[in-house]
Amino acid sequence: MTRALVVRLDGAGDVLLAGPTVRAVAARADVTLLCGPAGAPAGRLLPGAGEVLRWACPWVLADPPPVDAAETAGLVADLAVRGFDEAVILTSFHQSPLPLALLLRLAGVPRISGASVDHAGALLDVRLRPGETLDEDQPEPERMRAIAAAAGFPAPAGDDGRLAVLPSPDVSHLLPAAPYIVVHPGAAVGARRWPAGHCARSVELLAAAGHRVVVTGGPDERALTAEVAGRRGTDLGGRTSLAELGGVLARASAVVVGNTAAAHLAAAVGTPVVSLFAPVVPAVRWRPYAVPHVLLGDQHAPCRDSRARECPVPGHPCLAGVDPAAVVEAVHLLITDVLRAQEVPA
């Protein structure tokens, strides 16, 4: 069987969005995933992914490691030993596949596909040109699927193209009795975070409306989740792996979250999302994919399309202007719509 390397070198959310593409390649090849340190745990959750390799890429990561000749040579040697028949390099609009394509050529990979605005020379066998042969204003999962399809890996018959993850571990011992709402206040960068005080107020309002509330976050967000949970929420900050977080989200009635990996994990387990979306990146590309959601946040704020990691506008108005009461209203709207969709006519 063909041995294919699928590459996505940035964050966990980016890797989760690559799930439909991984399934498309896996339908015709034995897939190995190459991910960054933050993305590797997400890669292990994807159906169709075999082995997951981890590498900190100096030209993709926001806090990049220095270029190390010995480490780079080790990566090339490791990939060469595996004898891949081809590689599909998945990138976002602001990333280039060419540096990695060069390393893959040195590793002896005979066929490489990717999307590049720059002339690729002998580095890419299949090249899509962003803005010309590849539409940039489309959801990120569809952009990546287009790269795979051009490489000869169309979506498998019967695959709906939605995000998906492997079954979650049992997390019932961590949770209150269902139903409950999840509030996930953190994000990898400050520009995408709803203010902590707003998050805490939303927990209070949701609890006052009769909802159980679970607050989630990573090990480095324990102080934040404790503040947000207060006395009314169940604080799971730092208590779940990514796979366990998927289990928590899967059992929730809705998730309140910014543009971060938890939003895409919620979409992958089919849970409706109230998306507090900062317009520093385009919502058309990065909003929750193929799942019921309500998008909140001023999408025309001055920070629009800036890709800023810290808000460049005093007061963070694009998200600070979202009233917690509006979030509660959005939660109720989502829950009501889902219940209506589940009703069976008499």
Q: In angstroms, rounded to a whole number, what is the distance separating the alpha carbons of residues 77 and 226?
A: 46
Measure the CA–CA gap between 319 and 56, rounded to whole angstroms. 31
User: Residue 306: what pLDDT?
Assistant: 93
Predicted confidence at residue 32, as pLDDT, reads: 98
Residue in 307, 7, 306 with CA at minimum distance from that of residue 144: 7
Low-confidence winner among 77-86, 166-175, 333-342 (lowest mean pLDDT)? 333-342
Q: Is the pLDDT of residue 324 over 70?
A: yes
Q: pLDDT value at position 194?
A: 97
| d(C-alpha 284, C-alpha 140), whole Å | 8
The whole-number pLDDT of residue 342 equals 75
pLDDT in tens, 258-279: 999 999 999 999 999 999 999 9
Q: Is the pLDDT of residue 346 over 70?
A: no
Q: What pLDDT shows up at residue 127?
A: 98
Q: Which segments within the chain are labelled E, that is strand?
A: 3-8, 30-35, 52-54, 86-89, 111-115, 126-128, 180-184, 212-215, 234-235, 254-258, 273-276, 293-296
Chain-centre distance for alpha carbon 24: 18
| C-alpha–C-alpha distance, residues 180 and 192, integer Å | 24
pLDDT for res 206: 98
The pLDDT of residue 177: 84
d(CA 315, CA 321): 9
What pLDDT score was predicted for residue 345?
61
Mean pLDDT value of segment 39-49: 98
- Do 247 and 45 form a contact (C-beta atoms < 8 A)? no
Judge contact between 51 and 26, C-beta under 8 A: no
Cα separation, 202 vs 190, whole angstroms:
19
pTM strictly above 0.85: yes
Mean pLDDT within 75-91 = 98
Q: Within a 10 A sphere around the Cβ of 341, how many other Cβ atoms? A: 8
3-state secondary structure string across 252-279: CCEEEEECCHHHHHHHHCCCCEEEECCC
- pLDDT at residue 338 tops 80: no
Mean pLDDT of the region 118-145: 96
Whole-number pLDDT of residue 341? 79
> How confident is the model over 243-257, as a mean pLDDT?
98
Q: How confident is the model at residue 327 (pLDDT cuts 50, 70, 90)?
A: very high
pLDDT at 344: 56
* pLDDT tens per residue, range 149-171: 999 999 999 999 999 999 999 99
Asked if residue 155 lies in contact with residue 20, where contact means CB atoms within 8 angstroms, the answer is yes
Contacts of 13 (CB under 8 A, 6+ apart): 42, 260, 261, 263, 264, 265
> What is the rounded average pLDDT of the residues 56-78?
95
Q: What is the pLDDT of residue 270?
A: 97
Separation of CA 310 from chain center: 19
Quick: pLDDT tens for 273-302.
999 999 999 999 999 999 999 999 999 999
How much is the mean pLDDT over the chain? 96
Distance CA 16, CA 73 (A): 28
% of the chain exceeding 90 in pLDDT: 94
Token duo for residue 272: 């409706």
Task: Give tens-digit pLDDT for 308-323.
Answer: 999 999 999 999 999 9
Residues 6+ apart with CB under 8 A from 33: 5, 6, 7, 8, 15, 22, 43, 46, 49, 50, 51, 52, 53
